[in-house]
Chains A and B, each alone.
Chain A
Amino acid sequence: MNNNAFLHFLTLLLFKQKGKHIGAVLISVIIIFLLSSVLFISSSLQSMLLGTLESQSDFTVSRVQAGKAINTPSAWMDKVLEINGISQVAPRIYGRYFFAPREESFLLVGVDLFDEQSSKELRSLVKGLDLKSFLSTDSMLVGEGVKTFLSEHYYKEYFSFKTPQGSFKKVKIHQALPSGTNLIANDMIIMPIELAREIFGLGEDEVTDITFNVPNDAEWDNIIGKLHLLFYDVRVVEKREIVKAYENLYNYKGGLFLILYLVAMVTFMLILYQRYSMVYSTERKEIGILRAVGWSIKDILKLKFYETAVVVLVSFVLGVILAYLYVFIWDAPLLSQIFLGGANLPNHVSFVPVLEFGLLGSIFLFYAIPFLAAVLIPAWKIAVTPPKEAML
């Protein structure tokens, strides 16, 4: 058979009978679009978060009482520092501040701005930040979500925090953090560490928790053992636990979605089976003619296979492209809320495009194998129709 003639016939057939395929293409595009949007969002979030983890400390320790983390005495820092192999011990002061009237909350983070590195980092992050004027009065940097929320509530210049002692602390809203940080800092307020301590009512000798690094990772298990010997009421969180948790986190969401999607996929297979059985049975006459002019069963199977392959490929590419546009160009309205939540300040994250070959392959297999399998038997049934019978 001349290949070009075959191709011509195949494409002609596809377009002459486009009504037969358009339904299948539409459903497929919708299915692939939904599936790949969810997986794109989760893989993008995962890679963004795992990227930020690299700059994090290896360990965090905090004091626990009755299973809850409580303030950690800062005297622990000196004790931790005495263990060999530990470096960069630093206190953290953070916590949620509830904006009582609406039960919205911000994440207040105290930062040691006299530390060379973090002040340098902050200056490069926030363009035009004047640290001198920032430090001269009580001021804070707010995330984009906080900024919008506060200005909606007429806190344009200042915001008054209520301390546990009942007094008010008036803090100047100095500047907003760039919107690129929204994924982490949407509801965040950054302020000097002493100010945060005052607002949370922490004593001079208390911090929220303590972070430190252990450069030699062979020593990690050892260090954990030593910490548990040193303090009896301690909780140690390791970075590798967090890496694994992030890895799981998004598997969990994507995976749960995929499992639920299995139901849709099986239904889709049934629909396709029914549909193509019906469509092909109207083609009996046509196939009969083809058989009569000398096509073999193999040729007809080939024709049907290529027909299906074109449908599969076109709808796969269209679905993935639509999902790409939706997630990475329009930043996934609605769907992103499933991943980021919507109970507090509204967050708007722009996703960094991540296209992994493995992910695309997974989507393709998940969709193409059931599709092709569902069409296989109807295609065979029609291909073996004897030419004489078809004419009747």
Chain B
Amino acid sequence: MIKEFSILVSIVLLLTGFVFIHYLTHNGVSSQKTLSSISKITEISSPSLSVAYYEPRVLFYEKTLNPAYPQMQAMNKMDLVYEQ
């Protein structure tokens, strides 16, 4: 093994180590607890999607129509990707 290669390998290993340390030391439990408690208080667990006025904000409960053109099917833009 030549020196350059060992340097490359050690750089890669160092980066991996850094990522693992970050992964192991992050405080996932407390952020999960914060989310759980807000959804417990409000009884709403839908993600806060930044949706336009004709799209449903609370998934699975709301169905909205385009007020400008009621005959038209709701465009539900995020629905294309957020299947209901």
Q: Do A and B come from one complex?
A: yes
Q: Which of A's residues lie within 8 Å of B, judged by CB?
A: 4, 7-8, 11-12, 14-15, 45, 48-49, 51-57, 60, 62, 67-69, 90, 92, 94, 96, 98, 103, 105, 107, 109, 111, 117-118, 121-122, 124-125, 143, 145, 177-178, 180-188, 190, 209, 211, 237, 241-242, 245, 248-249, 252-253, 256, 314, 317-318, 321, 324-325, 328-329, 337, 340-347, 350, 352-355
Cβ B35 vs Cβ A183 within 8 A = yes
CB distance A105 to B1 under 8 Å? no
Of chain B, the residue at the smallest CB distance from A318 is B12
Task: Indicate if B23 sits at the interface (CB-CB under 8 A).
Answer: yes
Q: Taking the nearest CB of chain A, how far is it from the CB of B58, in angstroms? A: 7
**With a CB–CB cut-off of 8 A, which chain A residues contact B46?**
184
- A242 contacts B42, CB within 8 Å? no
Cβ contact of A69, chosen from B15, B19, B63, cutoff 8 A:
B63
Given A94-B58, A252-B83, A256-B81, A52:B43 Cβ within 8 A:
no
A184 and B22 contact, Cβ closer than 8 Å, known pairs A11-B1, A98-B53, A252-B82: no
Let me know if B48 and A109 touch, CB within 8 A.
no
B26-54 CB mask vs A (1 if < 8 Å, else 0) is 10101110111111111111111111110
Q: Are A55's CB and B52's CB within 8 A?
A: no
Cβ of A87 to closest chain B Cβ, rounded Å:
15
Find the A residue at minimum CB distance from B9.
A314
Residue interface mask B1-14, A partner, CB < 8 A = 1: 11011001000100
Min CB distance A5 to B, Å, is 11
The smallest beta-carbon distance between A239 and chain B, in angstroms, is 9
Contacts of B44 in A (CB 8 A): 92, 94, 107, 109, 184, 188
List 7 A-B pairs, Cβ < 8 Å. A52-B39, A69-B61, A125-B37, A184-B46, A188-B48, A340-B47, A350-B31
Q: What residues on B are CB-neighbors of A329 within 8 Å? A: 22
Question: For residue A55, which residues in chain B have a CB less than 8 angstroms away from its CB?
Answer: 36-37, 39-40
Chain A contacts for B49, CB-based, 8 A: 340-341
- Of B26, B30, B43, which one neighbours A92 at CB under 8 angstroms? B43
Question: Which residues of chain B come closer than 8 Å to A51, judged between CB atoms?
Answer: 32, 35-36
Contacts of B52 in A (CB 8 A): 343-344
The 8 closest A-B pairs by CB, nearest first: A11-B5, A180-B34, A343-B52, A186-B48, A341-B50, A344-B50, A52-B39, A181-B38
Quick one: given A15-B2, A237-B61, A353-B22, are A184 and B83 in contact (CB under 8 Å)? no
A314 to B16 CA separation, bound complex (whole angstroms): 11
Inter-subunit contact A103/B53 (CB<8 Å): yes
Contact residues in B for A352 (Cβ distance below 8 Å): 26, 28, 31-32
Total residues of chain B contacting the partner, CB 8 A? 50
Contact A111 B60 (CB under 8 A): no
Given contacts A98-B53, A109-B42, A184-B45, contact A8 B2 (CB under 8 A): yes
Cα A212 to Cα B51 in complex, Å, equals: 28
From B2, B41, B47, contact of A118 by CB (8 A): B41
- Complex Cα distance A60/B52, Å? 25
Which one of A57, A96, A111 has the highest number of Cβ atoms from chain B below 10 Å of its Cβ? A96
Name A54's closest neighbour in chain B (CB-CB).
B36
Which one of A96, A184, A337, A340 contacts B38 once the chains associate, using CB atoms below 8 Å?
A184
Asked if A328 and B22 sit within 8 Å, CB to CB, the answer is: yes
**Contact of B50 with A241 in the complex, beta carbons under 8 Å:** no
Q: Are A49 and B45 in contact (CB under 8 A)?
A: yes
Residue contact B48 to A314, C-beta cutoff 8 Å: no
* CA A40 to CA B17, docked complex, whole Å: 18
B81 touches A184 (CB 8 A): no
Residue from A94, A96, A184, A341 in contact with B35 in the complex, judged by beta carbons closer than 8 Å: A184
Asked if residues A353 and B26 are in contact (CB atoms below 8 Å), the reply is: yes
CB contacts (< 8 Å) of A341 on chain B: these are 49-51, 78
Of listed B35, B52, B78, B83, residue having the most chain A CB within 10 A: B35
CB closest chain-B residue, reference A7: B1
B2/A56 in contact, CB under 8 A: no
Q: Give the complex CA separation of A245 and B83 in angstroms.
A: 8
Interface-centre pick from A118, A185, A248, A256 (highest chain B CB count, 10 A): A185
With an 8 A cutoff between CB atoms, is B71 at the interface? no
